Amino acid sequence: MVKIADRQWRYSRFPELPLFGRAARESRIESLHAERETLSERFATLSFDVQKTQRLHQSFSRFIGSHLAVAFDADPEAEIRKLNTRRASWNVRLQAMKVITSKVAFSLNRQKRASLPLTAFCRA
């Protein structure tokens, strides 16, 4: 069947592609070359897309792997809370030691003052 016009078809006894002869062979070779070119372009495009997708998948996997490891690390906030607790306890101890030191210094000063008149009296 051959389409002549929009609504007209007729039967043709010749095939769409010529089967015999040099012209048939050359036209077939040209059509195959054109098809090969389009297929090679499509293959190159798809190959590039596959490589791009593989690189994206690899970088995404690396990203997930590195950030998933953080979930299994020790909780840094718990460590900070523990260190803050230790610091607070050391500050309390330090303040207690300062109070004790000031009391001892005060009592020593009082003892020195109390013993001063005695030593002055003993010398005279």
Whether the Cβ atoms of residue 31 and residue 21 lie closer than 8 Å to each other: no
> Which tokens sit at 74?
């020790």
> Which tokens sit at 51?
């490589």
User: Is the whole model's pTM more than 0.85, yes or no?
Assistant: no
Q: Which residues pair with 9 in a beta bridge?
A: 3
pLDDT in tens, 77-107: 999 999 999 999 999 999 999 999 999 999 9
**Helix, coil or strand: residue 9:** strand
Give CA–CA dist 15/17, Å, rounded. 5
- Predicted pLDDT at 124: 53
- Predicted pLDDT at 72: 81
Spell out the alpha helix ranges (H) of 4-124: 22-71, 76-123
